[in-house]
């Protein structure tokens, strides 16, 4: 029998969680693999749809696109050509709001 505990991930939970009614029962290795593949496929589909919607909406709302471009240009002007994730996360509120709105839709 395998020993250990979940690392907090979804796959870890699938590996180590036991049936509440029968603690000896748990998912087989094949079931864990099947579920992991399903999660990957579902996540990929969701990401593709979100990016497609983002491009469509930015194309339909050129004013929003222009504000995003201006925000990025201002950041580059003040910080230089090399931007970090932290800079974008903290200094691009319009981008953040736009992404959240696209994901909400």
Per-position DSSP letters for 13-51, written without gaps between them: HHHH-B-SS-TT-B--HHHHHHHHHHHHHHHHHHHHHHH
**CA 56/CA 64 separation, integer angstroms:** 12
Q: Write down the pLDDT at residue 28.
A: 87
pLDDT digits (tens, 9 = 90+) for 2-17: 566 678 788 888 888 8
pLDDT band with cut points at 50, 70 and 90 for residue 18: confident
pLDDT band with cut points at 50, 70 and 90 for residue 77: very high
pLDDT digits (tens, 9 = 90+) for 20-75: 888 888 888 899 899 889 988 888 888 888 999 999 999 999 999 999 999 999 99
Beta-carbon contacts of residue 72 (< 8 Å; ≥ 6 apart): 92, 95
């Amino acid at each position: 029998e395998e020993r250990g505990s979940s690392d907090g991930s979804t796959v870890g939970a699938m590996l180590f969680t036991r049936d509440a009614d029968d603690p000896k029962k748990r998912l087989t290795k094949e079931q864990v693999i099947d579920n992991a593949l399903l999660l990957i496929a579902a996540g990929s589909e969701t990401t593709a749809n979100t990016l497609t919607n983002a491009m469509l909406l930015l194309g339909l709302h050129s004013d929003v696109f222009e504000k995003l471009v201006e925000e990025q240009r201002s950041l580059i002007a003040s910080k230089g050509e090399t931007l970090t994730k932290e800079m974008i996360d903290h200094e691009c509120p319009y981008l953040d709001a736009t992404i959240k709105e696209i994901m909400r839709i």
